[in-house]
């Protein structure tokens, strides 16, 4: 059983009329300050908002069972309210109360990948407010592995609704610095827990149909999911910029992760990519347009751009995933106007990397071969 909750902190009522005063605190995963956790949990129980670290990206948290809190999340983020939120739990015994049934596949996946960067979609129980699920009859649930996140979820009553802690349309924040940049004055508290380990949002898998379907690729890859539960499909609309059908995860239809500069992906052999980009970069230089390149360690010394950022070694996909959103934000800080990015292999974690890059680029790709 779970019940909808209500509650308003004075600050939460004032939000919208006045700027909220945001308290920023630091909590280390390896040495948790329980007094701070208690304070943060009390804010959420009272209907307020707390941004917090997870192993994927930072989350903007409110009480998932309080319709008004979810309303505040959309408002703070500037996000369309038809885009559902993920409900974060800290223990398996909290799952049954918010879903109609737990399919066998969910138990298998939870056993293997929870706590961790996997979100599963279930049919929702009545106690989950429509505001939390963007009006859908299904609910997305994740159990994060970050110790600060699980401590906070428990202190907050067990259910935290949290989208990524960025303003709508901006790259997801992987450090508290960028959360502060986007949400200072919009949330009651920001917990700084250092740099996110994974750097890309969780894999989302829909378990409500006959065949489980991946709605958003992530660190837990299709191969890994298949190994645990057998047949798994991928919603192709999420990978194809020209798909006519709307993607099943409503959030995937919005242009996301967008840097302020115009981002274009270039695909081809290393020599083709370097020579094409340099030709373009030369032209922009003449026009005094500030340029950037998302390169790899192998190529970073070969470009003529004003700002060249390496995501790491080409074969180290985990490092690329960790760096990507931070680099997009750094280009914004530097006011780069045109950004070229190399392309990556699109299987394994690379599928998630390319998915985010393609979305950031609004699917602008130059194919050289
Ligand atoms: O790693 C993550 O998942 C992070 C951290 C904070 O946990 N959260 C995150 O939330 O990325 P957000 O709101 O930025 O992305 C959630 C995605 C959206 O694309 C949304 O449309 C989709 O999940 N989603 C949520 N509930 C859904 C549902 N019931 N059915 C289909 N898609 C859903
Ligand atoms: Mg997001």
What tens digit of pLDDT does each residue of 72-103 get? 999 999 988 788 999 999 999 999 999 999 99
Q: How far apart are CA 331 and CA 291, in angstroms?
A: 9
How many angstroms is it from 132 CA to the middle of ligand 1?
11
HSE, side-chain direction, 13 A CA sphere, residue 87: 36
Region 304-322 average pLDDT: 96
Q: How far apart are CA 165 and CA 226, in angstroms?
A: 30
Ligand at shortest distance from the CA of 251: 1
* Residues lying with their CB under 5 A of ligand 2, a single-atom ion: 164
Per-residue pLDDT of 190-232, as tens digits, reads 999 999 999 999 999 999 999 999 999 999 999 999 999 999 9
Mutation probe of ligand 1 site: the residue of 249, 254, 321, 356 with most atoms within 8 A of C-beta: 249
Region 105-129 average pLDDT: 98
Amino acid 237: pLDDT: 73
Residue 65 near residue 5, CB atoms below 8 Å: yes
Nearest partner of 76 among 166, 190, 197, 189, judged by Cα: 166
157 pLDDT above the threshold of 80: yes
Task: Evaluate: CB of 268 within 6 angstroms of ligand 1.
Answer: no
Mutation probe of ligand 1 site: the residue of 79, 140, 174 with most atoms within 8 A of C-beta: 140
* Average pLDDT value for the chain: 92
Count of residues in the chain:
369
Instruction: Provide DSSP, 274-285.
Output: HHHHHHHHHHHH
Identify any residues that bridge with 140 across adjacent strands, giving them in sequence order.
86, 121
Amino acid 253: pLDDT: 60
């Amino acid at each position: 059983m779970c019940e909808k909750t209500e509650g308003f902190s004075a600050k939460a009522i004032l939000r919208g009329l006045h700027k909220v005063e945001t308290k920023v605190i630091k909590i280390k995963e390896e040495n948790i300050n329980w007094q701070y956790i208690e304070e943060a949990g009390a804010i959420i129980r009272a209907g307020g908002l707390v941004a917090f670290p997870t192993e994927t990206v930072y989350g903007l948290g409110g009480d998932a069972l309080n319709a008004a809190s979810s309303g505040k999340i959309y408002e703070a983020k500037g996000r369309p309210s038809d885009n559902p939120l993920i409900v974060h739990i800290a223990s398996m015994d909290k799952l049954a109360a918010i879903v109609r049934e737990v399919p066998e596949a969910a138990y298998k996946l939870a056993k293997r990948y929870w706590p961790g960067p996997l979100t599963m979609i279930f049919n929702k129980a009545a106690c989950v407010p429509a505001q939390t699920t963007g009006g859908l009859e299904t609910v997305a649930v994740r159990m994060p592995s970050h110790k600060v996140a699980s401590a906070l979820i428990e202190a907050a009553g067990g259910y935290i609704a949290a989208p990524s802690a960025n303003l709508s349309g901006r790259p997801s924040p992987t450090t508290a610095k960028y959360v502060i940049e986007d949400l200072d004055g919009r949330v009651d508290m920001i917990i700084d827990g250092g740099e996110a380990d994974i750097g890309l949002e969780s894999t989302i898998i829909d378990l409500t149909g006959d065949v489980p379907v991946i709605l958003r690729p992530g660190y837990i890859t299709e191969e890994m999911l298949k190994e645990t539960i057998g047949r798994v499909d991928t919603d192709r609309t999420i990978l194809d910029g020209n798909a006519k059908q709307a993607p099943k995860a409503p959030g995937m239809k919005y242009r996301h992760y967008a840097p302020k500069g115009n981002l274009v992906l270039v695909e081809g052999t290393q020599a083709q990519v370097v020579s094409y980009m340099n030709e373009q970069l030369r032209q922009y230089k003449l026009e005094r347009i500030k340029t950037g390149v998302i390169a790899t360690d192998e190529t970073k010394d070969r470009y003529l751009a004003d700002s060249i950022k390496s995501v790491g070694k080409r074969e180290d996909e985990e490092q690329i995933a960790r760096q990507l959103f931070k680099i997009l934000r750094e280009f914004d800080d530097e006011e780069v106007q045109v950004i070229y990015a190399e392309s990556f292999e699109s299987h394994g974690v690379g599928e998630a990397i390319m998915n985010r890059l393609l979305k950031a680029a609004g699917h602008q790709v130059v194919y050289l071969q």
